[in-house]
Amino acid sequence: MSDYERIASIIRFLEREQIEQPSLAALSEYAGLSRHHLHRLFSSWAGVTPKDFLQCLTAERAKELLLKGSSVLDTSYEVGLSGPGRLHDLCVNLEAATPGEIKSAGAGWDIVYGFAESPFGRFLAAESPRGICHLSFGDEGRETEAVAQLRGEWEAAAFSRDDSWANDLSTQIFSVSEAAKAKHPLRALVRGSEFQLLVWRALLRIPHGELVSYGALAEELDKPKAARAVGNAVGKNQLAYLIPCHRVIRETGVVGNYRWGSIRKRAMLVWEAGTRA
């Protein structure tokens, strides 16, 4: 069992037992690990203690981050390119596929794809001549299904598998500081409407370890009555983690749904809290 699988199992346990608020001893017993090994698990995975881990999962903690993050999008504009709020924005150059490219379904393109491990399980990524065009998490044993879905997105393109490329990408996305990534930005290509692109670009301005609500995101886009539409656009994100839609939660502090699993979303938020620069 990988570290992430253990973490995901523990999060499920805590969600089931949240009314009882399990102690660290109960958590250790459930995980089948001594307190020492439980501490090592959380430390190696995200640099947090078991106690920190429990606190990060509470709605109260999420609300605190929402209060801090309520103006984070405004701040990212005010502080300029040197501010931490712009770093993730600088790490990804997001472009939209043209109508012609969508119509041709990638004809004449060579797309490389591969599978790699991450702090949140195995993922599938793909890169077109215009940039990263796919990044998704999936369950083990469903690789064929995931690749078929990828091929369906650009069905006229030629595909070649290269897991070493995907491993290098994993290192760049998950093992390097935001500041370092900003020096070597990734090019990314998405298919979507003008409104969806507007929302996805706003997501890139949410810093590592910060949270905003759907309502606050709608306000930032000058569409205060369009929180539902903004939420729908967030849910249509095609590039897991790279476009950080996991940093948007409900105003109540409830994490909410996630295209690649709510448990994985909670894990991402805890991991970012521990690895925050």
Q: What is the pLDDT of residues 101-139, one digit of tens each?
A: 999 999 999 999 999 999 999 999 999 999 999 999 987
pLDDT at position 70 is 56
Mean pLDDT of the chain: 87
Q: Under a CB-based contact definition with an 8 Å cutoff, are residues 86 and 75 in contact?
A: no
Q: How confident is the model at residue 85 (pLDDT cuts 50, 70, 90)?
A: very low
For the stretch 130-182, pLDDT in tens is: 999 999 998 777 899 999 999 999 999 999 999 999 999 999 998 766 666 66
Judge whether residue 86 has pLDDT over 50: no
What is the number of residues in the chain? 277
The alpha helices in the chain, defined as continuous H runs, are: 3-16, 24-31, 35-46, 50-56, 59-69, 72-78, 87-91, 99-104, 143-153, 163-174, 178-183, 194-203, 214-220, 227-235, 262-275
Q: How far is CA 155 from CA 129, 159, 162, in A?
A: 15, 9, 19
Q: What is the pTM of this model?
A: 0.87
pLDDT at position 19 is 67
Instruction: List the catalytic residues.
Output: 245
pLDDT at position 182 is 65
pLDDT at position 176 is 62
Judge whether residue 43 has pLDDT over 60: yes
Q: In angstroms, rounded to a whole number, what is the distance separating the alpha carbons of residues 207 and 86?
A: 7
pLDDT at position 71 is 57
pLDDT at position 190 is 97
Judge whether residue 77 has pLDDT over 70: no
| Radius of gyration for the chain, computed over Cα atoms and rounded to the nearest angstrom | 19
Q: In angstroms, rounded to a whole number, what is the distance separating the alpha carbons of residues 123 and 274?
A: 21
pLDDT at position 256 is 87
Beta-strand pair 110-118/158-161 = parallel
Lowest mean pLDDT among 1-10, 37-46, 88-97, 165-174: 88-97
A 10 A CB-CB count for 115 gives 17
